[in-house]
Chain A
Amino acid sequence: MSENGLLSLFQNKENVLENVLQKTPFGFSLINEDYVFEFANEAWLKIVQKENHEILGKRIFDIFPETETNLLSIFEIVKNTKVPFYAPEQNIKLERKGLLQDVFFNFVYQPIYTESGEFQYFASVVIEVTDLITTRNKIKNDEERLRLATESSHTATWDLNLKTFDIIHSSYLSKIFGYNEGEQISHQQMRDHLCEEDRINIVEKAFEKALQTGVYQYEARLIDKVQNEKWISTNGKVFFDHDGIPSRMVGVMQDITQRKTSEILLQQSHHQLNTAMVASKLGRFDMDYETQHKYNFSPRFLEILGYDSQTETISSEVFEKHIHKNFVQLRLDALKAAKQTGDLFYQTKIVLRDGTQKWIEIYGKLLEPIDGRKAYISGTIRDITENKNYEKNIRESEKKYRFLADAIPQIVWIGEKDGQLTYFNKATMDYSGKNYNDFLDGDGWLEIVHPDEQQENIRLWAKSIRTKKPFFFEHRFRNKDNEYRWFLSRAFPDLDEAGNVKKWVGTSTDIDDMKRQEKQKNDFIKMANHELKTPVTTIKGYVQLLKKMRGDSEDKFLVNSLNTIENQVNKLNVLIGDLLDISRMEAGNLPLNKKEFSLLGLVTETIEDIKASEQSHHINFELKHPTDIEVYADKDRITQVLNNLLTNAIKYSPTSKMVNVELFVEEEYAVVSVEDFGIGMDHEELNKIFERFYRVSGDDEETFPGFGIGLFIVKDILDRHDGKITVISKKEQGSRFSFFLPLKKNKNSK
């Protein structure tokens, strides 16, 4: 049965073959050696858009004359060489469905020979490849688009042969390495441009890794051809051959210098911020303003709240649970205020899980909603427990000092650097009977200062503030019974390192009793002076009267006695005067009665007076100036000065009988010098002679009587005349005292 079937098939083979050929989807035609069509199937006819009858038995070049030039030679070659001719992807414009279209065909011309080897036909096989071509073009376009895209995104592409290390790359890659666009560079060149450190540590390692994993990825620095440092990023993929050996690597490369630079900058500023955060021990968080959910806690935030930042996390609502119950309202108020001001700030106590309490400070900025984000607070948290404790300690220590200040009976006060008084101790209130606020209000404290001292008080205080020098002043304060008592106020500036005043610390000491005693003493001396002088007046008067009446008596004893009594009474009178002067000098009210007078006149008169009572010494006087010298001074006091110097010169030169007095001008001073050749003084004594009650001691105390107050007064008188006194002295050789009085300027100026 099968054999019969097979046989019939063979019998009909031509028929069958023809049918098959007719229906195949590729075009097929047979052309004989005379180029005449003997067969064409449907597909072929459709391709050339002819009917069967139009071509069968016709010469090809008659039907398609335009093909003769090319095809004739092709046919000849095919016929002679017996090698088929392929004409791939021939473009033919065909009208299909009413549209003229580009259609592509692969043409094959195959010679067919008889069994005896005679040429029989050209078989023309035509296959439409339009779809293939379209697809390929599409791929090509896609590739081109990709290329353009990569180039415009500053992405270079490369293709490295891992066996030969030949590299093909896009033109942009050359640019990255600083070469001209399109200039080809080798794989080795590329490697050479990489920074050595990065090449070893990054690129070569990434390459090794890529060969194992198939993925090539790195970011590294290179120095390009023109010495710019650049950052590049590479992404590649490795292709393996059939044996699993890497054969090819394809990838992209980008210049990421800009990104990297800003990344580094960002990293640096992040680092700085972090450093600052760490240094200030600030914790950080963000908070949704509406829901008050917190997130983005920094480790420090967790630590402050008593969590282990390594192992624990907290939910967005945990924070509230730690707020000490006394501070809940305060916190809510602060949150409300933040809505108005944009700033969130509050200090609160928190309670940790273990029950310990801490003080924290929250500071945040409310950031308005933008780009669809909700309003949120970016905040910091700071542990201020120590500060609070410190504040508390300070407060306690201050309390202690205030207590101390309050406990002492002295008045204590504190002033700011501008002189405003801001603190008074309790003694101030107790003394004045006023309340604290009366004192703080403006210059309220001035109220209790005696009106006579107020102006000077203000002046001196302002001066101390200006000069930063300590303040000293004696003034009277009114007490609660409206009585005034004397106080000595002293204030010292508390300076900082820069020498600026931080505070003034002042005390006022009640010196009223001292003052009173001082006054009593001075009153007593004044009274004693007056009372002593009355008998002195009487004695002196009678002695003089007696001398007047009996002075020419033969009785020498009487006359000498009267002279001695008169001299001693005069000395007594001077001593009484000195005592009074001292007490008045101490009280600061030794009055000066200044007027212009001739110094020459004063000196000569004084010398004459001394001579009248002291005949023991010879006093020489020399004027060493061409004219008289006028001074503006208290004549009586200057007389007292010269008198003192002269009597001293006489007193302390018991063996020498010479005293020299000179009057001259030195620089801006009128100078009177008194020189003796007596016992003199050594250095130690010289330093003390202007002290009160000091006197030079001789071997015999009784030789040199006196209170030793003379030079003390002399110095004070000269000080108060803006003058001075100097002394040159040598033990056992004598002394030379000189006193200086300022010249009357307008008169003696040249």
Chain B
Amino acid sequence: MEILIVDDNKDICQLIESILLSDGYNVESCFNPLQFSEIIKQTQPKLIITDLLMSGYDGRTLTREIKENAETQHIKIIMMSAHPDAKKLSEKAGVDDFLTKPFEIDDLVTKVENLLK
């Protein structure tokens, strides 16, 4: 499994899964952020696409945990958000790339492509 999508909105998860699947990526999603820790232990994704603001679990916390853990810090992270200041906050949190919601699917594909090169 290459890409893990973490978003509390199931529709968003399915959308991104569909886009990336159609481009031939191996994708899984997790729409209950609380289960994220479990999933990450079982699977070793190369890229995580997540949202800045999720109920119960914050994208920045996720980023910190991934990037602070030596075993997981190689995992790339793309942060998405509809929050107007999300880009700055995300960069500060240490993500690898950022995507404004709503996004152009070409932008998503390009970013994913770049990070998984």
Chain A: residues with CB nearer than 8 A to chain B?
526, 529-530, 533-542, 544-545, 548-549, 569, 573, 577, 580, 584, 591, 593
In the assembled complex, B15 has its CB within 8 A of some CB on chain A: yes
Knowing A530-B53, A533-B101, A534-B9, the reply to whether A541 touches B16 (Cβ < 8 A) is yes
In the assembled complex, B82 has its CB within 8 A of some CB on chain A: yes
11 examples of A-B residue contacts, CB within 8 angstroms: A529-B82, A530-B82, A533-B82, A533-B102, A534-B101, A536-B101, A537-B101, A538-B11, A541-B102, A544-B106, A545-B22
In the complex, what's the smallest C-beta–C-beta distance from A241 to chain B, in angstroms? 131
On chain A, the residues within 8 Å of B82 by CB distance are: 529-530, 533-534, 537
Give Cα A245 to B41, complex, Å. 157
Knowing A529-B82, A591-B85, the reply to whether A545 touches B12 (Cβ < 8 A) is no
Chain B: residues with CB nearer than 8 A to chain A?
9, 11-12, 15-16, 18-19, 22, 53, 82-85, 88, 101-106
In the complex, what's the smallest C-beta–C-beta distance from A533 to chain B, in angstroms? 3
Candidates A526, A530, A541, A580; contact of B103 at CB < 8 Å: A541
Knowing A534-B9, A534-B12, A549-B22, the reply to whether A541 touches B83 (Cβ < 8 A) is no
On chain A, the residues within 8 Å of B15 by CB distance are: 537-538, 541-542, 545
A545 near B105 with CB under 8 A, answer yes
On chain B, the residues within 8 Å of A540 by CB distance are: 102-103
On chain B, the residues within 8 Å of A534 by CB distance are: 9, 12, 82, 101
Most B-side CB within 10 Å, residue of A526, A533, A573, A580: A533
In the complex, what's the smallest C-beta–C-beta distance from A538 to chain B, in angstroms? 5
Most A-side CB within 10 Å, residue of B22, B53, B82, B101: B82
Most A-side CB within 10 Å, residue of B102, B104, B106: B102
A538 near B19 with CB under 8 A, answer no
On chain A, the residues within 8 Å of B22 by CB distance are: 545, 548-549
The residue of chain A having its C-beta at the shortest distance from the C-beta of B11 within the complex is: A538
The residue of chain B having its C-beta at the shortest distance from the C-beta of A593 within the complex is: B88
The residue of chain B having its C-beta at the shortest distance from the C-beta of A547 within the complex is: B105
On chain B, the residues within 8 Å of A530 by CB distance are: 53, 82-83
A545 near B102 with CB under 8 A, answer no
Candidates B85, B88, B103; contact of A537 at CB < 8 Å: B103
In the complex, what's the smallest C-beta–C-beta distance from B68 to chain A, in angstroms? 27
On chain A, the residues within 8 Å of B105 by CB distance are: 541, 544-545, 548
In the complex, what's the smallest C-beta–C-beta distance from A381 to chain B, in angstroms? 78
Give Cα A503 to B45, complex, Å. 71
Candidates B18, B84, B85, B101; contact of A545 at CB < 8 Å: B18
In the complex, what's the smallest C-beta–C-beta distance from A25 to chain B, in angstroms? 152
Give Cα A25 to B4, complex, Å. 177
The residue of chain B having its C-beta at the shortest distance from the C-beta of A534 within the complex is: B9
In the complex, what's the smallest C-beta–C-beta distance from B106 to chain A, in angstroms? 8
Give Cα A544 to B11, complex, Å. 15
B102 near A580 with CB under 8 A, answer no
The residue of chain B having its C-beta at the shortest distance from the C-beta of A535 within the complex is: B11
A541 near B19 with CB under 8 A, answer yes
Which 3 pairs between the two chains have the least Cβ-Cβ distance? A533-B82, A537-B102, A540-B102
Candidates B9, B84, B88; contact of A529 at CB < 8 Å: B84
On chain B, the residues within 8 Å of A593 by CB distance are: 88
Knowing A538-B11, A540-B102, A548-B105, the reply to whether A584 touches B84 (Cβ < 8 A) is yes
B84 near A573 with CB under 8 A, answer no
The residue of chain A having its C-beta at the shortest distance from the C-beta of B23 within the complex is: A548
Most B-side CB within 10 Å, residue of A534, A537, A539, A540: A537
In the complex, what's the smallest C-beta–C-beta distance from A562 to chain B, in angstroms? 13
In the complex, what's the smallest C-beta–C-beta distance from A635 to chain B, in angstroms? 13
B53 near A545 with CB under 8 A, answer no
The residue of chain A having its C-beta at the shortest distance from the C-beta of B53 within the complex is: A530
Give Cα A526 to B15, complex, Å. 24
In the complex, what's the smallest C-beta–C-beta distance from A492 to chain B, in angstroms? 38
On chain B, the residues within 8 Å of A541 by CB distance are: 12, 15-16, 19, 102-103, 105
On chain A, the residues within 8 Å of B104 by CB distance are: 544
